[in-house]
Structure 1
């Protein structure tokens, strides 16, 4: 396994944040459909029906309800993720600068925990509440700033940190699985290529897409619990994340934990390709790597 080159912290932050913001905006309609699917407690409305009904009642703008919260949060999340991952893998690498798959898994887990606390939970709670609110006849939130202020005023700072535990579990698993899959596949492909050869963009996109595919199926239950805990009515329905998971399992069945898989799969496959491709290209342009 070849030694990795360490990213400069500032460059890693810039590249990661830019990649995260671009990915969030491009893929947001899939996130909207996934969230709406997971908020349903009764008969399930399919992804196509959600899109048609939203376009009919709210127009194209309806598919972007809560988008600003996710774009800002995703930029922060990706910045924190790449900086944290680079920091952890630097700590865990052996004296020769090599990082084994198990250590890459631990580094990804640590990065996921950091992004869950500092970026993901607040942004996704606000995003989920805005999507949930948008389907009401008379929505109360008038955008990101107004919505955030209203949530904090009504529920306090805890209101934007609802679902922290499942978010930490999901993000930890997300990053652990995604980074390990991406790093392993990238090193395998680079090992088969000529030494020092830069991988084509299409190959980087494909590797990132596969990493996203593996991530989706292994972390969906955490994502469904997270979404339910962040809904507007969550305070009156669930005592905590474990109670939420128990009610979903006993009242709706185990398959409900994979509700929204198709739109999330679409998003994360695109996300993996977009984020890693944009990140690698920005790092290449600004020369953000140091030798270990």
Structure 2
């Protein structure tokens, strides 16, 4: 869980935004292999997967999609500094104080707004990881979408099995939701040539799904982020009240333990939400699930309850480390910017 700035932070806005963007990007790069492992584990569906991806010892593929997420987190972290202070002032009492419950609410409000910036980049990241799994050999029983006019004039959605032993199915799309010929060609092309580069993945999403492809899973992503903030700050505040309400005698080791325990609470309670978010941001989620409730039902019935916590360990490592990495990078960047601002290279010696 990324830390939020203190309400009484006197750092100027420009420095805070630059330091926040740097910290967000660096934290993403430092912990991204765990994000890749988590997302790839959530994407793989043992029921529909006819061939698993090949295991490789190379470290480079584990940074597929890192650029997209780094940009999104940099935008998110840079705006967090301004948003949290604004919401803290808004939630403050008449005498200007901010209680622990109000801090939690301010954190939730911040998480809601900042998530809006990162949703398109989350979709790009998930698509790049999924395409990389296809390039590594993963094969899924993906339905083949065709225009409804080619199969039937019935307005109802029909499903017919392909001849032979192929696991694919032909899904007839109703006329009201007919897919254009150009989009069908794009879907067919990119299914054979999956993109794993930042520039080409944007073209793939736009050509196959339009602008709506960049906002897949928006509601579930916002809900996850709000739950992350609520659970983390609630657990952290509760532990602080138990150990030392005044925070006068809390050691650095205790602070580290509080942060790790709060991260465990986040992963334990929000991992199922994170899995549904990943599935809803996959390229073929409408053919497999159509909506979030169908996704929840199918995952439970076909893959079991344990699947909802798939990828929990890499996410726990990432969540536990990200706050420390972000905080250290932020402080170092602020000090560096302040030092640069104090230098006068053109002053007379």
TM-score by structure 1 length? 0.81
Once the two structures are TM-superposed, the CA of residue 112 in structure 1 deviates from its matched residue by 1.2
Distance 2:34 2:324 in 1: 15
Larger Rg: 2
* Counterpart for residue 56 of structure 2: 54
CA RMSD of aligned residues (A): 3.0
Distance 2:237 2:105 in 1: 13
* SS of residue paired to 1:242: helix
Once the two structures are TM-superposed, the CA of residue 38 in structure 1 deviates from its matched residue by 0.3
Q: 1:160 to 1:54 in 2, by over 3 A?
A: farther
Q: 1:103 to 1:134 in 2, by over 3 A?
A: same
Q: 1:86 to 1:44 in 2, by over 3 A?
A: farther
Q: 1:216 to 1:162 in 2, by over 3 A?
A: same
* Counterpart for residue 104 of structure 1: 103
* Counterpart for residue 132 of structure 2: 134
* Counterpart for residue 191 of structure 1: 247
Distance 1:156 1:274 in 2: 36
**Structure 2: stretches of 5+ with no match in the other structure:** 1-5, 136-191, 339-349
* Counterpart for residue 43 of structure 2: 39
Higher mean C-alpha deviation, range 76-85 or range 217-226 = 76-85
Of Structure 1 and Structure 2, which has the larger fraction of its residues in helix? 1
Find the partner of 1:154 among 208, 211, 219.
Answer: 208
* Counterpart for residue 113 of structure 2: 114
Higher mean C-alpha deviation, range 109-118 or range 205-214 = 205-214
Distance 2:48 2:97 in 1: 47
Distance 1:9 1:192 in 2: 29
* Counterpart for residue 313 of structure 2: 262
Q: 1:273 to 1:130 in 2, by over 3 A?
A: same
Once the two structures are TM-superposed, the CA of residue 63 in structure 1 deviates from its matched residue by 0.9
Once the two structures are TM-superposed, the CA of residue 247 in structure 1 deviates from its matched residue by 1.6
Distance 1:87 1:106 in 2: 12
Q: 1:21 to 1:131 in 2, by over 3 A?
A: same
Q: 1:53 to 1:70 in 2, by over 3 A?
A: same
Count the aligned residue pairs: 272
Once the two structures are TM-superposed, the CA of residue 173 in structure 1 deviates from its matched residue by 1.2
* Counterpart for residue 290 of structure 1: none
1:64-102 CA distance string (max 9 Å, x none): 111111111111122233332222112112244332222
TM-score by structure 2 length? 0.69
Once the two structures are TM-superposed, the CA of residue 184 in structure 1 deviates from its matched residue by 6.6
1:229 aligns with 2:232: no
